[in-house]
Amino acid sequence: MSVFLFLCYNTLGDENMKIIDGKKISEKVLEEVKTDIEKFKLKKITPTLAIILVGNDTASKVYVKNKTIACQKVGVDCQEYFLDQNTSEEELINLIDKLNKDDLVHGILLQSPVPKHINIDNVFEKINPLKDVDGFNPINYGKLLIGKENLTSCTSLGIVRLLEEENIEIRGKNVVIIGRSNIVSKPLSLCMLNRDATITICHSKTVDLKEHTKTADILISAVGKPAFVTSDMVKDGAVVIDVGINRLKDGTLCGDVDFEKVKNKCSYITKVPGGVGPMTVAYLMKNVVKAINLQL
Ligand code: NAD
């Protein structure tokens, strides 16, 4: 009897749950970008993105590669700057100054993390806000804060689009975000607030995390720990968005969510890989288009 009930529960869970296909939606976004880029090319504008990577972080190299592949797909020229691990903050800022002044460069992206001797916030401050395709310059951050989104974090915009594509309402919903980083979770929480969600931000010092996550209509995890979100943390019927990217010892990629167990509890869920990651890259391309329009 209990085996029967278990099977029924799992089957029911699967039927009611939908995996949000970030790969497919990202391809749609890239097609939109391609059309915009063709229009720029008719006006003799060659959209150009400069990507800077400092050091040898293996994961960062993969992210940069994915971004350059997306550039090729949509027709954006990509200038890659691979700087030595020992590059000083001053040298990095000098390169940013040069790119800021170069009218042929429309977007500047500094891949994080950077080596510890560099204060990344100092460097983000130096990127021309009109070329700041990651939205991390304090001016763009401030605009996001007051609800005047300009160039805004690609991951946040990608997640909003995933929800929109599935007709998942954000307005009035309880959105719980696990993580409070400047790069991912804070801009994401502001994006959700700007779209009238009620937001809760949880972090490593949150007391009784589960108490908060159980209230989520939309639960978003950006922690960076495999199997961190377990099924007992998820309300029945919730939407679960997994931002985490973790590499296991055997080399496989996974998110923060214990996918196989959690999927039976929720209405929608994203997978890793193939969820938020491709949307981040696609919205980087969107932001290049936005940056050009701001500079025209
Ligand atoms: P981070 O290390 O800066 O932040 C992690 C956050 O998790 C912190 O704010 C911390 O407070 C919180 N945290 C840690 N332990 C916790 C606990 N026990 N309980 C509650 N909260 C806890 O990382 P980040 O830069 O915000 O990135 C988060 C994850 O998202 C990483 O896996 C990263 O690789 C991934 N990421 C994915 C994309 C994408 O496009 N999918 C983009 C950027 C980052």
Q: CB of 166 within 8 A of CB of 142?
A: no
Do 122 and 186 fall into the same domain? no
Residue of the CA atom closest to atom 40 of ligand 1? 277
Residue of the CA atom closest to atom 6 of ligand 1? 179
Do 171 and 272 fall into the same domain? yes
Strand partners, 80: 51
Q: 3-state DSSP call for residue 174?
A: strand
Do 244 and 211 fall into the same domain? yes
Residue among 163, 176, 155, 162 nearest 245 (CA): 155
Q: CB of 22 within 8 A of CB of 276?
A: yes
Task: Find all residues with CB under 8 Å of 118, minimum gap 6, and list them.
Answer: 54, 87, 88, 89, 92
Domain membership flag for residue 142: no
Q: Exactly one of 36, 132, 134, 242 is catalytic; name it.
A: 134
Question: What is the pLDDT at residue 130?
Answer: 98
Q: Establish whether 232 is a catalytic residue.
A: no
Residue of the CA atom closest to atom 41 of ligand 1? 277
| CB-count exposure of residue 175 (10 Å: 0-12, 13-18, 19+) | buried
Q: Establish whether 126 is a catalytic residue.
A: no
Domain membership flag for residue 118: yes
Q: Exactly one of 36, 111, 126, 256 is catalytic; name it.
A: 111
Do 174 and 253 fall into the same domain? yes
Do 55 and 117 fall into the same domain? yes
Do 249 and 194 fall into the same domain? yes
Q: Check if 254 has its Cβ closer than 6 Å to any atom of ligand 1.
A: no
Domain membership flag for residue 140: no
Q: Establish whether 72 is a catalytic residue.
A: no
Domain membership flag for residue 253: yes
Do 221 and 254 fall into the same domain? yes
Domain membership flag for residue 32: no
Do 186 and 261 fall into the same domain? yes
- For residue 115, the domain's CATH number is 3.40.50.10860
101: CA distance to ligand 1 center in Å? 33
| CB-count exposure of residue 181 (10 Å: 0-12, 13-18, 19+) | middle
DSSP string, 83-134: E-TT--HHHHHHHHHHHHH-TT--EEEEPSP--TTS-HHHHHHHS-TTTBTT
Q: Which domain holds residue 91?
A: 45-127
Domain final residue pick, 127, 146, 178: 127
Q: 3-state DSSP call for residue 14?
A: helix
Do 184 and 120 fall into the same domain? no
Longest CA–CA separation in the chain, Å? 72
Amino acid at site 278: P
Do 272 and 187 fall into the same domain? yes
- For residue 206, the domain's CATH number is 3.40.50.720
Residue to probe by mutation, ligand 1, list 176, 219, 245, most atoms within 8 Å of CB: 245
Q: CB of 270 within 8 A of CB of 20?
A: yes
Question: What is the pLDDT at residue 4?
Answer: 46
Residue of the CA atom closest to atom 32 of ligand 1? 224
Domain membership flag for residue 143: no
Question: What is the pLDDT at residue 16?
Answer: 81
Do 83 and 172 fall into the same domain? no
Number of domains present in the structure of the chain = 2
Q: How far apart are CA 92 and CA 268, in angstroms?
A: 42
Q: Check if 202 has its Cβ closer than 6 Å to any atom of ligand 1.
A: yes
Residue of the CA atom closest to atom 14 of ligand 1? 204
- Phi first, then psi, for residue 250 (nearest 5°) are -80, 5
Q: How far apart are CA 101 and CA 264, in angstroms?
A: 52
Give the containing element (helix H, strand E) for 211: helix 209-213
Q: What is the pLDDT along the chain (296 residues), one digit of tens a residue?
A: 454 444 444 444 566 899 999 999 999 999 999 999 999 999 999 999 999 999 999 999 999 999 999 999 999 999 999 999 999 999 999 999 999 999 999 999 999 999 999 999 999 999 999 999 999 999 999 999 999 999 999 999 999 999 999 999 999 999 999 999 999 999 999 999 999 999 999 999 999 999 999 999 999 999 999 999 999 999 999 999 999 999 999 999 999 999 999 999 999 999 999 999 999 999 999 999 999 999 99
Q: Check if 34 has its Cβ closer than 6 Å to any atom of ligand 1.
A: no
Domain membership flag for residue 104: yes
Give the containing element (helix H, strand E) for 48: strand 48-54
Domain membership flag for residue 37: no
Do 13 and 74 fall into the same domain? no
